[in-house]
């Protein structure tokens, strides 16, 4: 499990526009990283739409948002478009980043192998983890209030 104050694992993943996005791209900003199991499922949709609906709050706290799942960039593009999400969705199709963040189910529902666990991380302007929440149950959502409090205190 990743600890508060630890350097966040680096990543470079493709977004829905098939452009590479790296952790370093957010230097000087706070970053909320949301891992989610699968696009188009009810809890994932509710979670990401909660972030969409409160994006001004997070922007006001100098925070960017990215969502990461093992879905393909093409699936994520359709999901982003349909839900009008104003932040990048990144494809961890090869599952390396989910594993680096300890946010990985070896076996998920319907015996699907290698799916991201729902989790939330706040990475500060210096690349250090300031909040980490990895949920065992995919039916739960992150504690958005705790995320906002963490950002407020940075």
Each residue of 41-53: pLDDT tens digit?
Answer: 999 999 999 999 9
- Average pLDDT along the chain: 96
Q: Which of 8, 32, 34, 44 is catalytic?
A: 44
Domain that holds residue 147: 28-152
Q: What is the CATH number of the domain that holds 142?
A: 3.40.30.10
Task: Evaluate whether residue 102 is within a structural domain.
Answer: yes
Task: Evaluate whether residue 148 is within a structural domain.
Answer: yes
Task: Evaluate whether residue 20 is within a structural domain.
Answer: no
Helix, strand, or coil (residue 122): strand
- Confidence check: pLDDT of 1 > 90: no
Q: Has 44 been annotated as catalytic?
A: yes
Which whole number is the average pLDDT over 95-111?
A: 94
- Confidence check: pLDDT of 112 > 90: no
Task: Evaluate whether residue 42 is within a structural domain.
Answer: yes
Domain count for the chain? 1
The pLDDT, as a whole number, for residue 110 is 87
The beta-carbon contacts of 70-75 under 8 Å, at least 24 apart in sequence, are: 70/38, 70/95, 70/98, 70/114, 70/115, 70/116, 71/38, 71/39, 73/14, 73/15, 73/16, 73/18, 75/39, 75/40
Each residue of 48-93: pLDDT tens digit?
Answer: 999 999 999 999 999 999 999 999 999 999 999 999 999 999 999 9
Rounded to 5°, the CA angle 67-115-73 comes to: 50
Tokens, residue 141: 């959502």
Task: Evaluate whether residue 19 is within a structural domain.
Answer: no
Task: Evaluate whether residue 105 is within a structural domain.
Answer: yes
Task: Evaluate whether residue 63 is within a structural domain.
Answer: yes
Q: What global pTM score does this model have?
A: 0.96
Task: Evaluate whether residue 121 is within a structural domain.
Answer: yes
How large a percentage of the chain has pLDDT more than 90?
Answer: 95
């Amino acid at each position: 499990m990743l600890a508060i104050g630890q350097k966040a694992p680096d990543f470079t993943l493709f977004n829905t526009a098939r452009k590479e996005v790296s952790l370093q791209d957010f230097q000087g900003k706070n970053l909320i990283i949301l891992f989610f199991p699968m696009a188009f499922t009810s809890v994932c949709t509710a979670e990401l739409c909660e972030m969409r609906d409160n994006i001004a709050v997070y922007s006001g706290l100098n925070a960017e948002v990215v969502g990461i799942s093992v879905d393909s960039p093409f699936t994520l593009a359709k999901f982003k478009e349909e839900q009008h999400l104003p932040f990048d969705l990144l494809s961890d199709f090869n599952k390396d980043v989910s594993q680096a963040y300890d946010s990985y189910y070896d076996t998920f529902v319907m015996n699907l192998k290698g799916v991201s666990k729902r989790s939330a991380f706040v990475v500060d302007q210096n690349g250090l983890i300031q909040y980490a929440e990895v949920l065992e149950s995919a039916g739960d959502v992150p504690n958005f209030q705790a995320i906002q409090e963490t950002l407020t205190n940075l």
